[in-house]
Structure 1
């Protein structure tokens, strides 16, 4: 049981159905649409070489006191930290409608912790016979260690080319990409006051997420 003011356990991977695959978030209504750049923390040696050792110090100064120390994980094979993540997975699965797993099953299916991960951009373009670009769908793929994830970061069709089903075609291509790459979870950010976008994403198989999505933007230091 967490004390007053503590957030308790939370996982961002509730199950929803998408495209015949069980994915983890659905359509996420939010104002932001740009994907965050991927900034892997790296190993201890890499962090020191890039100046990120100062980040470790900032973390400790911000949240540590005489009794509790908060620091960046140094050893990727820390058994105690892995046990905490398994505890979270066991607890969170009770909140969502998907098949339950035992603790041993979760342990066997959980990949080792990794300090680094990579991602890629795949930009899909709709062109006419003259080669003119009419619309674009920017997809982001990355695997943080829990399975390959996908995001439809941007979807745009030129005003003079709308009403021809180009957004539907672009999303159809994006879904084919996600299936071909065996994406385990896909999301898209949009606004619920944009009925055209909501309809297009819904037709592609996205559904509203069960969770509340909160965002944070940096302020001046």
Structure 2
């Protein structure tokens, strides 16, 4: 089943991969996410930086996510009236390479980034539906596990990730915006 053509329904939401022509909606949701009270520790860019990017940046991002095959896939949860209630992106990391932080990647894995659910849609299981779609896509791509990084001072996100099955790996990474702070690696692994 292709992640591009498949969609799952969770309650009142349809969870699916974005399409290239939806770049404007990708941009709008990113700007909403960057206004969240914890955006400073949850995302690596500021609202001002994201707002100042040219449209071509968002067009390219959406097009790359929609490509087959792709090294990244962005998923959204859509309400019946077309509102995008939440999103997450999975990046594929190849064994034998280094990740964005310069750490060695030991096996093919998915790396979840850009997780956001609008406040009015939180607490109803939507985050699990988004993660289910992202993890399923990573597995289809041959990933052996999925990981993410979460700031040490973001207990709301840590709790949400635990609820969907991720656990701390024990790996700590300096926070790219302030190396005196730490991010925790959470992982979801499955039997080989």
TM-score by length of 2: 0.46
Which has the larger share of strand? 2
TM-score by length of 1: 0.41
